[in-house]
Structure 1
Amino acid sequence: SFLREMRETFSFLAELFGAFLVQCLMLCQCSVTYIILRIRNRSKPIPPNVFPLRDFSGPGHISIIIPAYKEVDTIGACLQRLNDCISEPNLVEVIVVDAGGGDGTMEKVREAAEGSLSGLTLRTANLPHDSKGGRGATLIAGVAASKGDIILFLHADTVVLPGFDGLLRSELAKDSVLATAFSFGVNRDSVVAPIAGLAWMEWTVNIRSSILELPFGDQAIAMTRQRLDAVGGVPDVPIMEDFELVQKLRRIGAAGSGRIKTLDAKVLCSGRRWQEKGVWRTNLLNQVIMTAYVYFGFTPAQIYSWYYSVPFLRSGDGKTKAS
């Protein structure tokens, strides 16, 4: 029993040390990229239509875009949370985009729309018939079906907190705020045992997001429709669409148009991936992928095949430069 406890303690400390090193590596790599990006883009022209920020057509309607691929186990709880947390439901629409999977996700959405969540403006959207799919195409389909002044991209397993919609309206009405992301947290209810380095990871991710202006999709990125259109919309790539969109915003921010603001309010994402492989293994893979993409010219289709271990069949790679 004593030896087992010692082994478990040693294993936990080793995982903790690994998480410390990997997250330090992440901050160093992201800092170098950020400095280079700002130097390269500080004198470039700001795209038209970024300024002036137009008044909302109404009091600031929000369209929440939820990409759904095999989310049958999460979509019901996601919609219920939104129903409970939206402060002004008459000013919010939720659009769930069917990304395939055929597991009954969209049936659950339709049941929710007709049942207990009938007070929530809830609609569905589908990918165009000629679409090859992928994350970017899914978000594009959601935006095309939306009507709001503000677009919020939300993962189905991300937990929002009460009143988030009012906070988005007040922040995105400011000229200096190009986009927002919520502070990052991991939903402790989604893990069954302590995960070494989890709190350290949360802290470093929020440093990356707030100081280096590099949030990812699990932080619920939001912006006005005007500014999304001004930067060319969501990139039509199978993966890395959140990174590519944020890079567009960072470039015009470096030219003097504003910044991506990380809000103090948190959203909580599922801890399943870190529970399965640990913090350092999961995040080291993410850093290898990011390095391959940014510095070695790997395409989104190649990254997709690598990450999911299946080929992405599509003509062209749709990639834009990462810096």
Structure 2
Amino acid sequence: MMLSIIIPVYNEQENLIKRLSFLCEKANKNNIEIIIANSPESIDESQLVCNKYAKVIHLDCKIKGRAAQMNAGAKLAKGDVLMFLHADVVLPEDFYLQVKTAVNEGNKFGFFAYKFDVSTTLLNLNSKFTKKDGLFAGGGDQCQFFTKETFKAFKGYNENFCIMEDFEMMDRIRKHKIPFKIIQSKATVSARKYNNNSWLKVNLINGYVFLKYRLGVHPTKLRKTYKSLLRESV
């Protein structure tokens, strides 16, 4: 199995410095390619960071936004399985084996349970919900992966969604009853949002914006609402 890891970035130089060594180490041992899909609005030195790694392909995207950048990376990808990773998420050590096993079991889609990079009672409570299927499952930092044929059949992420593109995809997966697996080897995600705000505030805002998404509010309005309420870039 060839796995293409696609990372959409916007001024993520520091996170790339932290992540690429680990990913390239795994790529040296497994059939993995790494594609950095960079926003046309990035002004940092992400490309120079990428150029230091032979296993990394840097792509200058023509259209900004995570959905468009992930789709652009997917078009370039050679792998028969595509995985989409946020730059500040750390995959578990056995991620390649776990994805390969999930696909060999007949799953055409999947994602990872996760834990936070700091441990508190409330954050640990949040992470418990990522281990099972539920209302919020599959979105956010859970590292969605697809067989390439499944991703192509869905025509990629909906680029009309400048936010919630992962939940919109999850809705389509459920609607078409695509078999999927939640991998229990946990990814590690940043607690930055919670550090800059509070546990209660972040969860209330997430719930409020998710409800508005369910009610059909336009993605640009969702993004504006999210940015106005939360001290965090989107």
Q: Could you tell me the TM-score, scaled by structure 1's length?
A: 0.66
Runs (5+) with no aligned partner, structure 1: 1-59, 189-193, 310-323
Equivalent residue for 1:122?
Answer: 56
Equivalent residue for 1:184?
Answer: 114
Count the aligned residue pairs: 226
CA deviation vs aligned residue, 1:109-160 (integer Å, no higher than 9, x gap): 22x22xxxx3xx21011222xx3x2111111111111111000000111111
Give the match's secondary structure for 1:197.
helix
Structure with more relative contact order (C-alpha pairs < 8 Å, separation 6 or more): 1
Runs (5+) with no aligned partner, structure 2: 229-234
1:304 paired with 2:216, answer no
AA partner of residue 162 (structure 1): E
- Computing the radius of gyration over CA atoms, which structure comes out larger, 1 or 2? 1
Q: Return the alpha-carbon distance in structure 1 between the equivalents of residues 138 and 198 of structure 2.
A: 21
The question of whether the paired residues in 2 share the 8 Å contact of 1:84 and 1:162 is answered with no
Give the fraction of aligned pairs with identical amino acids, expressed as a percent: 24
Give the match's secondary structure for 1:268.
strand
Equivalent residue for 2:34?
Answer: 94
More helix by share: 1
CA spacing shift, 1:86–1:211, aligned 2, 3 Å: farther
TM-fit CA distance, 1:196: 5.3
Equivalent residue for 1:141?
Answer: 72
Please list, as runs of the form range in 1=range in 2, the aligned pairs for 1:159-308 lying within 5 A after superposition: 159-175=90-106, 177-188=107-118, 195=120, 197-207=122-132, 210-211=133-134, 214-236=137-159, 237-253=161-177, 257-258=178-179, 260-295=180-215, 297-308=216-227
Give the match's secondary structure for 1:266.
strand
CA spacing shift, 1:86–1:230, aligned 2, 3 Å: same
CA spacing shift, 1:84–1:187, aligned 2, 3 Å: farther
CA deviation vs aligned residue, 1:161-204 (integer Å, no higher than 9, x gap): 223112211211233x231111111012xxxxx64511111112
AA partner of residue 248 (structure 1): R
The question of whether the paired residues in 2 share the 8 Å contact of 1:196 and 1:279 is answered with no
